[in-house]
A and B are shown apart, each in its own frame.
Chain A
Amino acid sequence: VPITYTSGEQIEVYRFSIPVTVGVPLLALFLQAFLPRRFPFFSIFDLPLLVTIFFAMARRNPITGLLTGAAIGLVQDMLGPYPIGLYGIAKTVVGYGASSLGAKLDVENVGARFLVTLGFYLVHAAVYFGVARYMVSLTLNWSWSRGILAGLANAVVGVGLYFLLDKFKQRT
């Protein structure tokens, strides 16, 4: 059982094997690209975002977190029709924020994970919306109801996913 405290010196930091570090984000990207074709409702989820948040919170290192977010986001951009960098920027911010938060707060329990995921989903959506609308001039419309609904759905899935991914954690 990982022990976490709010003190930075006593905090538990985890690492992951290389296959997990590479394989899990790739699997998330693959599922994100494949499943909505069969199950259209699945497009509301953002598995790469959930994986970004998980790795960032577990490693608790802002630099690793932001780089992980940037890498996952950029690959996700490459699979989409829009300019490369939209998801990259949004997930970089999320990666940085989640790892910074993970270094200061106990984010191991269900409630904290749920709220963190919900919050970062909204942050992610807001950054994406801002960059897409004001830098790339995409005609996006912000919808609070949709954002919150999708955030809640992602938070629920995220909590389950994090417990699954906890199995791959290795103590430093």
Chain B
Amino acid sequence: MESVLGRYRNLTILVGVLFLQVLGLAVQVKRSADTENTRLIRIWAVDLITPFERGLVWAQNDSSNIWHNYFFLRGVRAENRQLREQIEQMRLEEVRLSEDATQAHRLQSLLAFKEQFIAKTVAAQVIGSSGSDLSRSIYIDKGSNDGIGPDMAVITAGGIVGKVLHVYPSTSLVLMINDQSSGAGAMLEKSRLQGVLRGTPNGELVLERVMSDETVGVGETVLSSGGDQIFPKGLPVGTVSKVSPGKEMFLNIQVKPAADLSRLEEVLVVTEKREREPVAESGGRVRAADILAQRLPSVPNKPAEVAGAAAAVSGATITAAKEMSARAKPQVSGSGKLATAPAAGTAAAIKPAGGTEASGAALKKVAQKTAAGDSATSDGLGSAGSNTVLSGSSHPSANPDPNHGANAAPKAAVNSADSSAKPADEVAKPVSPPPNPQPAATDNNPH
């Protein structure tokens, strides 16, 4: 026996070393179903490598900052001017979105929907990766000392990135969504079809479990569905880049990630999520149109009659007025502001392109669109924190309540005495501008 072992000593040692590693693998695979604690051996390896990475990143950033912040300032003034203009535009957009968000909140509260808010985030810097093209993971410079825990969502302003896999005292390993072992719940923004988002060995993203008889368009936005209990609902995931028939009656949908996963530098870790029912705002609410009117000093305050005529002439405005009147019921029940605010009637005239569409089509949108205006509720996230969306059933058209819809319209028309909008029954008919517009609304309200 000894002679055999001596003769094949090298091979014996090879088999022994391989056997030990296979045994170790088997133990890990068996334990993976349990709540896995980070192994000490991993901590040692990470502690060995990450300080160098952290140091290099620090030195790199500092030298880059000195150059960019003190020397290379060419074009800063022009950029500053552009950014200021952009801020002004975004302020106007914010007004529009806040109206949408408020409306979404109100509808959610009416339907007693619970929504998830990102309550707290921790910003972290990417310091390294697993370094293999067979796995997609990154190291960030925040760990358990900073409140990071396993299975926390990692996002950027662009979209979701991945989840925290292993946590060390001062660093964490993040498994990205395009890793082949990762999975996340996702849905298509327009059709609300839900599927499972998976990574591929090539680092691409695919949306699985969408039936082949569904229609999915290239370029459609994909959002997180919240079904995985890791990513809050409504965060951007990416856009559909290719759709082809897949296996077993499912579509093969390739998704282009919203976040640039190959060039991540800073990320946000969602350390706290809150689930609560939205609260409808009570009295004293300011309409978006009022705010908009205040912020546009160049637009003269038109008399109500003029605004009414303008609204009556424009076909698009009429449609908007119809939709406004259709959603008038919850507003009236909320604060009655619609009844006394002439700006409600002039909103369409003030901003026919965006404002009208926004205020009029808000009910249609809320079931499909993320409510970006909720960002005030999150501490550090901005728009990403608020992307809680209603499910398809929350669409007002699905509500069998007769008070929602046409019956509510006459009431709004009555309450807005100087409103230009006709009652819904009337304004719904003309598609093109009527030859003889009726300037005043008539009282069709039986009550």
Partners in one complex: yes
> Which residues on A are within 8 Å of B, measured CB to CB?
26, 29-30, 32-37, 40, 43-44, 46, 62-63, 66-67, 70, 74-76, 78-89, 92-93, 96, 100, 128, 131-132, 135-141, 143, 146, 150
Q: Is B433 an interface residue (CB 8 A)?
A: no
A-B contact pairs, 29 of them (CB 8 A): A29-B49, A30-B49, A30-B53, A32-B132, A33-B128, A33-B129, A33-B130, A34-B52, A40-B263, A44-B133, A66-B14, A74-B21, A75-B45, A79-B45, A81-B130, A81-B175, A82-B181, A83-B28, A84-B39, A84-B42, A85-B28, A87-B132, A92-B14, A96-B10, A135-B22, A140-B201, A143-B201, A146-B202, A150-B133
Q: Is B173 an interface residue (CB 8 A)?
A: yes
Contact indicator B131/A136 (Cβ below 8 Å): no
CA of A82 to CA of B181 in the docked complex: distance in angstroms?
9
Contact indicator B138/A37 (Cβ below 8 Å): yes
Given A32-B131, A37-B129, A43-B131, are A135 and B166 also a contact pair (CB < 8 Å)?
no
Contact indicator A84/B24 (Cβ below 8 Å): yes
In the A-B complex, the 5 residue pairs with the smallest Cβ-Cβ separation, listed nearest first, are A78-B45, A32-B131, A40-B262, A80-B130, A62-B10
Q: Is B139 an interface residue (CB 8 A)?
A: yes
CA of A33 to CA of B139 in the docked complex: distance in angstroms?
9
What residues on B are CB-neighbors of A146 within 8 Å?
A: 202
B304 CB → nearest A CB, Å? 60
Q: Is B5 an interface residue (CB 8 A)?
A: no
What residues on A are CB-neighbors of B41 within 8 Å?
A: 78, 84
CA of A166 to CA of B48 in the docked complex: distance in angstroms?
26
CA of A100 to CA of B10 in the docked complex: distance in angstroms?
10
What residues on B are CB-neighbors of A46 within 8 Å?
A: 132
Contact indicator B39/A79 (Cβ below 8 Å): no
Q: Is B249 an interface residue (CB 8 A)?
A: no
CA of A25 to CA of B256 in the docked complex: distance in angstroms?
36
Q: Is B108 an interface residue (CB 8 A)?
A: no
Q: Is B90 an interface residue (CB 8 A)?
A: no
- Residue of A34, A66, A67, A81 near B137 (CB, 8 A) is A81
What residues on A are CB-neighbors of B126 within 8 Å?
A: 37
B214 CB → nearest A CB, Å? 24
CA of A128 to CA of B263 in the docked complex: distance in angstroms?
27
CA of A62 to CA of B132 in the docked complex: distance in angstroms?
26
Residue from A26, A100, A136, A137 with most neighbouring chain B CB atoms (10 Å):
A136
Q: How would you classify the secondary structure of chain A's contact residues: helix, strand, loop or mixed? A: helix
- Residue of B25, B128, B173, B264 near A81 (CB, 8 A) is B173
Contact indicator B175/A33 (Cβ below 8 Å): no
> Which residues on B are within 8 Å of A, measured CB to CB?
9-10, 13-14, 17-18, 21-22, 24-26, 28-29, 32, 39, 41-42, 44-46, 48-49, 52-53, 56, 126-135, 137-139, 165-166, 173, 175, 179-181, 200-202, 262-264
A42 CB → nearest B CB, Å? 8
Contact indicator A131/B201 (Cβ below 8 Å): no
How many A-B Cβ pairs are below 8 Å? 138
Contact indicator A33/B13 (Cβ below 8 Å): no
B206 CB → nearest A CB, Å? 12
What residues on B are CB-neighbors of A84 within 8 Å?
A: 24-25, 28, 39, 41-42
CA of A32 to CA of B42 in the docked complex: distance in angstroms?
17
Contact indicator B132/A80 (Cβ below 8 Å): yes
Contact indicator A63/B10 (Cβ below 8 Å): yes
B126 CB → nearest A CB, Å? 6
Given A37-B126, A75-B45, are A81 and B166 also a contact pair (CB < 8 Å)?
yes
CA of A131 to CA of B21 in the docked complex: distance in angstroms?
11
CA of A43 to CA of B132 in the docked complex: distance in angstroms?
5
A122 CB → nearest B CB, Å? 14
CA of A132 to CA of B25 in the docked complex: distance in angstroms?
10
Given A29-B49, A85-B28, A86-B25, are A92 and B18 also a contact pair (CB < 8 Å)?
yes
CA of A86 to CA of B22 in the docked complex: distance in angstroms?
9
15 additional contacts (CB under 8 A) given A92-B17, A135-B26, A141-B201? A30-B52, A33-B139, A34-B129, A35-B131, A37-B127, A37-B264, A62-B13, A63-B9, A74-B21, A75-B45, A81-B137, A81-B175, A83-B25, A136-B25, A140-B180
Contact indicator A43/B49 (Cβ below 8 Å): no
A25 CB → nearest B CB, Å? 11
CA of A28 to CA of B242 in the docked complex: distance in angstroms?
37
Given A81-B181, A83-B29, A136-B29, are A43 and B133 also a contact pair (CB < 8 Å)?
yes
Residue from A84, A87, A137, A143 with most neighbouring chain B CB atoms (10 Å):
A84
Contact indicator B137/A80 (Cβ below 8 Å): yes
What residues on B are CB-neighbors of A40 within 8 Å?
A: 262-263
A165 CB → nearest B CB, Å? 19
B286 CB → nearest A CB, Å? 47
CA of A43 to CA of B133 in the docked complex: distance in angstroms?
5
What residues on A are CB-neighbors of B128 within 8 Å?
A: 33-34, 37
